[in-house]
Amino acid sequence: MTLSAHLPALQVVVPLVAAPLTVLLRGGRLPYLVALTSSWIALVIAVLLWRQVDSGGTLSYAMGSWPPPWGIEYRVDRLTAFLLVLVSAIAALVLPYSRASIEREVPRPQHYLFYTMFVLCLAGLLGISITGDAFNIFVFLEVSSLSTYVLIALGRDRRALMAAYQYLIMGTIGATFIVIGIGLLYLMTGTLNLADMGQRLAEVQGTRPVLAALAFLTVGISLKLALFPLHQWLPDAYTHAPSAVSSFLAATATKVAVYVLIRFYFSVFGASQVFAHLPMQEMMLLLALAGMFAASTIAIFQSDLKRLFAYSSVAQIGYIILGLSFNSINGLTATIVHLFNHGVTKGAIFMLLGAVAMVMGGSTLARIQGLGKRMPLVSIGIVICGLSLIGVPGTAGFISKWYLLLAAIEQGQWWLVFLILLSSLLAVIYVWRFVEAAYFREPRQDIDATAAVPWSMGVPAALLVAATVYFGLDTSFTIGSASQAAAALQGGLR
Amino acid sequence: MTIGGHFTYFITIFLMIAGLFIVIARGNLIKKLVGLGIFQTSVYLLYLAPAKLVGGTAPILSPAFTIYSNPLPHVLILTAIVVGVATLALGLALVVRIREGYDTIEEDEILALDAARDREAQAS
Amino acid sequence: MKNDLILRVIAKLLIPFIVMFAVYVQFHGDFGPGGGFQAGVILAAAVIFYALIYGLADARKVVPESVVESMMALGVLLYVGVGIAGLLLGGNFLDYFVLDPDPVHGQHRGIFWVEAGVAITVSGVMLKIFYMFADRGKADE
C-alpha cells in the first residue's frame, strides 16, 4: 500500500480528523498543535499532488473503491492542484499567526473551538476543490460555510454576530440555489459525476431545465463569491471577524467559489453552451465592471481600514470575473492567476491590519495616524500590498492586470483597456488614503502603542508580503499553472 | 399538461417563492430563519418528486418487480435535511446571542442601534 | 414538573421504549426509513424528555456535559476510523469491500459502524444544543 496513491483522500481526511481531536483535547496548547500539524501536512500533500499532476496529468481517485460514475470521484487536475496549494499554504501561514492574534480577540475558553472550526473550514475548502461529484461540492460548501459563520461570530464586537447572521442568510440562499441547479442537472442527465455530466449534457444542450440550472448555479455561486450586487455580506463579515479569520477568508473563501464557477462553466456546461444560449458574457462584463467601479469608489470613503480593504476585495473579485467574461485563454489565465495573487495580497493585508489593531487598539484612519513612525515595517508591508492591488509592476497584482489587458487587447476592446486602467486609478486613491494617514500625519499622543508584534504574527505576514513581490517577479509557478489549466479548460479537456 | 400531473411542482414553486419572500420581507430575525426553512423544504420536494417513477416500487431487489423508484434523491435529501438542521441550529444560536447583545431581534432596531453607536464613536 | 405525579410516571414508562425505538430505527435503516441521523435524534429526544420532566440538573447527572462533548467528537472519529481501516486493509478510503473476506458482508460491516458513528455524533450534538439553550435566560430570572 503506497501512501502516495491515497493522497487525494488524505488531503481532506487529515484536517477533518484534526477537528474532533481538537474538541477532545480541550485545553492547553494541544488543540493549536494538532491544528498546526494538520494544516502543514495538508500543505505538504497539496505540493506533492501538484507535482504529480504537473508531471503525470489528471489524477482520479475512487472513494470507497466504487468506480466512477457510480461512486464519488476525487479528480485532481491542474486548476485543482493550483487551488489546493493556495488554500493549504494560506492556512499553514494563518494558523501560527492566529495563536497570538486570538489571545486578544477571542475569550480563552473558546480557543479550542476556534481551532476546530478553522480546520473544519480548511477541510471543507480543500474538499470543494478536489471533489469531482456535484452534490459533494454542495456538502463541502456547506461544511466550510457553516464553520465560516461560526468563525466570524467569534469577533469581539457584537456587530460580528449580526454580520455572521447576515452572511448565514445570504450564504444559505446561495447554497440552496446551487442545490436547485444541481438537482435540475441531475434530472436532465441522471448522473452527479461532473465529468459524466459534461458528456451527457452535450445531448440536451439548450433545453429549458439546463438553462434554468445554469441560471440558478450562476446566481447561487455569485452569492458565495460576492459578485457585485450580491456582495452585501462581505464588508461586515470581513470587518468584524477576528483578524486571523478575515485574513484566511479574504484569501480563500471567495476564490474557491470562483473555482466552482469555473468548474461548472467549463467542465460541465462547456464554454460554448454557457456563452451561446444566455447573454452570460455581457452580464458578467457588466457586473464585473459595476463591481470594480462601485466597490472601489465606496472604498475611498471608508474610515475603517478593514472595511476599506473589504470593499477593495469586492472590486478585485470584479477583475476576476472580468477575466472570465472574455471567454479566451488569456482571460481565463488572468482569472486563475488573480485567484492566487489576490489571495496572497489580501491575506497579507489583513494579517498586517490585525497587527495594527493589536498595537494601536483599532484600525480606523483616525487611530493609525503616524503609523509610519510607530510601526514602520508594518506600514511598508501595507504599502507594498497596496501597490499590488493597484497593479504596479514588480508586484503580483501587475501580472494579473497584464493578462487582463492582453485579453482585452486581443479582442480589440480598447474601451475595456481604458476602464481597467481607470479603476486602477481608483485603487491608487484608496491606497493613498492609508499612505497619507500613516506617513503625513503626526502620531496621536493619547494612544499607548508600546505593545510589540510577536514573531508568530510578524513572520507569516512578512512571508506573505514577500510572496506578493516574489510572484510579481518570478511567475513560473503561477502563470505556468494558470495558463496550462486555462488551456485545458478552454479546450474542453478535463 | 394537467395540473394534477404536475401538482408537486406547483407546490415546490409556491414554497420556494413564499420562503424567499419571508426572508426578504420580514424584519424579525427568527421569521427570516423560518422563511429559509420553507425555502429549503421546497428544494427537498424538487428532488423527491421525480424520484418516484410511475409504477415503481420500493427500491429493494425482488424477482417479482422490474421497475424500482430511484433511491438516490432520497439519500441526497437526507444529507440536505441534516445541513438544513445544522444551519437552523446555528442561526438560532446566533439569534440568542444577538438578543443578549442588543436586547431586540428586529433587524431595523438593530441597525438603528448600530448607527447610533457609530455616530457616538465618530463624535468622540 | 417534577412534582406532577402523572407526568413522572408516564415519563418513567415511556423513556425506555423511546430508547428502544431509537435502537430499532438505527438498525433497520437498511430495510426501511431509518439510519444513524434519525436514531440519534430520537435518542436525544428521550434524554430531553427526561430533562423536561425531572429538570436540567438531574439530566446533567445522567448524561454529563463532558460525555456529550466527547460523544460529538468520538462519532466523527469512528466514521473516519472506518474509512482509514479501509485504507489500511488495502482498499481506498471508505472502502467497505475489504473489511471482510466476503465483500457483501464487508458492506454490512462498514455501514453498521458508520451509522453507529453518525448516531453517536448526532445525539451528542442535539443534546449539546439543548443543554446550551435550555439554561440561558434562567440566570436572569
Q: Give the whole-angstrom CA distance, residue A338 versus residue B112.
A: 38
Nearest to A158 among B40, B91, B101 (CB): B101
Residue C81 predicted with pLDDT over 90: yes
Residue-level pLDDT at C91:
83
Given this model, what pLDDT does residue C138 score?
A: 58
Contact C136 B100 (CB under 8 A): yes
CA A220, CA A236: separation in Å to the nearest integer? 20
Query: Coil, helix or strand for A281?
Result: helix
Kindly identify which residue of chain A lies nearest to residue C84, measuring between CA atoms: A13
Asked if residues A80 and A60 have their Cβ atoms less than 8 Å apart, the reply is: no
Q: How far is CA C57 from the centre of its chain?
A: 21
Compute the C-alpha angle A414/A419/A424, nearest 5°.
Answer: 130
- Dist CA A231 CA A251 (whole Å): 16
Length in residues, chain C: 141
- Judge whether A485 and A77 are in contact, CB under 8 Å: yes
- pLDDT band at residue C1 using 50, 70 and 90 as cut-offs: low
How confident is the model over C95-106, as a mean pLDDT? 88
Q: State residue A364 phi and psi, 5-degree precision.
A: -80, 155
Distance between B108 CA and the closest CA of chain C, angstroms: 24
| Residue (of A302, A303, A334, A311) closest to A409 by Cα position | A334
pLDDT at C141: 39
Residue pLDDT, tens place only, A68-121:
888 899 999 999 999 999 999 999 999 999 998 888 888 888 899 999 999 999
Residue B1 counted as domain residue? no
C→A interface, C-beta within 8 Å: 69-70, 72-74, 76-77, 80, 83-84, 86-88, 90-98
Across A419-448, average pLDDT: 87
**Mean of the per-residue pLDDT values of chain A:** 90
Give SS3 for C3.
coil
Q: Is the confidence at residue C2, as pLDDT, over 70?
A: no
pTM summary value: 0.94
3-state secondary structure of A427: helix
Confidence grade of residue A206 (pLDDT, cut at 50, 70, 90): confident
Task: Answer whether B60 sits within 8 Å of C31, measured CB to CB.
Answer: yes
Using alpha carbons only, how large is chain C's radius of gyration in Å? 18
Q: Which of chain B's residues have a Cβ under 8 Å away from the Cβ of C134?
A: none
Nearest CB neighbour to C37, from listed B82, B93, B100: B82
- Of the candidates A332, A365, A176, A342, the residue with the CA atom closest to the CA atom of residue A254: A342
Give the three cell numbers for residue A345. Answer: 495580497
Residues on chain C bordering chain B, Cβ-to-Cβ distance under 8 angstroms: 31, 35, 37, 129, 132-133, 136
Q: What is the distance of C-alpha A118 from the center of its chain?
A: 15
* pLDDT the model gives residue C47: 95
Mean pLDDT of C78-103: 89
Nearest to A65 among C70, C77, C95 (CB): C95
Q: Specify whether the backbone of A155 is left (phi greater than 0), alpha (psi in -120 to 50) or beta.
A: beta
Assess whether pLDDT exceeds 80 at residue A446.
no
Q: DSSP state, B69? A: -
The three-state secondary structure class of A196 is helix
- Best of C25, C136, C138, C140 to disrupt the B interface by mutation (most B CBs within 10 Å)? C136
- The residues with which A75 forms a beta bridge, in sequence order, are A60
pLDDT, position A440: 87
CATH of the domain at B118: 1.10.287.3510
Please name the residues in contact with A411: beta carbons below 8 A apart, sequence gap of 6 or more: A326, A328
Residue A74 parent element (H or E): strand A73-76
**Closest-CA residue to A343 (of A323, A367, A316, A321):** A316
* Partner residue opposite A6 with nearest CB, options C73, C92, C98: C92
Closest C-alpha among A254, A260, A222, A238 to residue A87 = A254
Over the stretch A215-233, which tens digit does the pLDDT of each residue have?
Answer: 999 999 999 999 989 999 9
CA angle at A340 for the pair A335 and A343, rounded to the nearest 5°: 115
Residue B1: the pLDDT is: 58
Lookup result for grid cell 459578485? A227
CA distance A313 to chain C (A): 35
Residue A242 has φ and ψ, to the nearest 5°, of -60, 155
Could you give the CA distance from residue B98 to residue A292 in angstroms, rounded to a whole number? 33
Q: How many whole angstroms separate alpha carbon B19 and alpha carbon B42?
A: 8
Mean residue pLDDT across chain B = 90
Q: Shortest CB distance from A169 goes to which of B23, B43, B86?
A: B23
CB-CB under 8 Å, A23 with C93: no
Q: What residue of B is the nearest CA neighbor of C136?
A: B96
Question: Does the structure show a pLDDT above 50 at C140?
Answer: no
Give pLDDT tens digits for A452-484. 888 888 899 999 999 999 998 888 888 888 888
**What is the pLDDT, as a whole number, of residue B52?**
87
Question: In Å, how far from its chain's centre is CA A462?
Answer: 20
Q: What is the pLDDT of residues B111-121, one digit of tens each?
A: 999 899 888 87
Please indicate whether, in this complex, the C-beta atoms of C133 and B100 are within 8 angstroms of each other: no
Number of independent structural domains in chain B: 1
Helix intervals (H) in A391-454: 396-410, 414-439
Tell me whether residue B35 is in a domain.
yes
Torsion region of C139: left, alpha or beta (phi above 0 gives left; psi -120 to 50 gives alpha): alpha
Which residues of chain B lie closer than 8 angstroms to A237, CB-CB?
none
Q: Give the whole-number percent of chain C exceeding pLDDT 90.
A: 61
Contacts of B60 in chain C (CB under 8 A): 31
Q: Which residue of C has its CA nearest to B92?
A: C133
Report yes or no: A253 and A149 within 8 Å, Cβ to Cβ.
no
Return the residue of C nearest to A19 by Cα.
C73
Residues 11-40 of A with CB under 8 A from B: none
**Of residues C43, C60, C40, C50, the one with CA closest to residue C131:** C60
d(CA C12, CA C8): 6
CB A387 within 8 A of CB A431: yes
pLDDT, mean of residues A249-261: 94
Cβ–Cβ of B98/A162 closer than 8 Å? yes
Give the number of beta-carbon pairs within 8 Å between B and C: 12
Region A17-38 average pLDDT: 92
Residue with cell 462581505: A234
Q: In whole angstroms, what is the distance from residue A134 CA to residue A179 CA?
A: 9
Q: Which residues of C touch B92 (CB under 8 A)?
A: 133
Q: What are A287-342's pLDDT values in tens digits? A: 999 999 999 999 999 989 999 999 999 999 999 999 988 888 889 999 999 999 99
How many inter-chain contacts (A to B, CB under 8 Å) are there? 65
Strand partners, A131: A74
Is the model's pLDDT at A445 over the cut of 80?
no
CA distance linking residue A312 with residue A388, whole number of Å: 12
**pLDDT higher than threshold 80 for residue B106:** yes
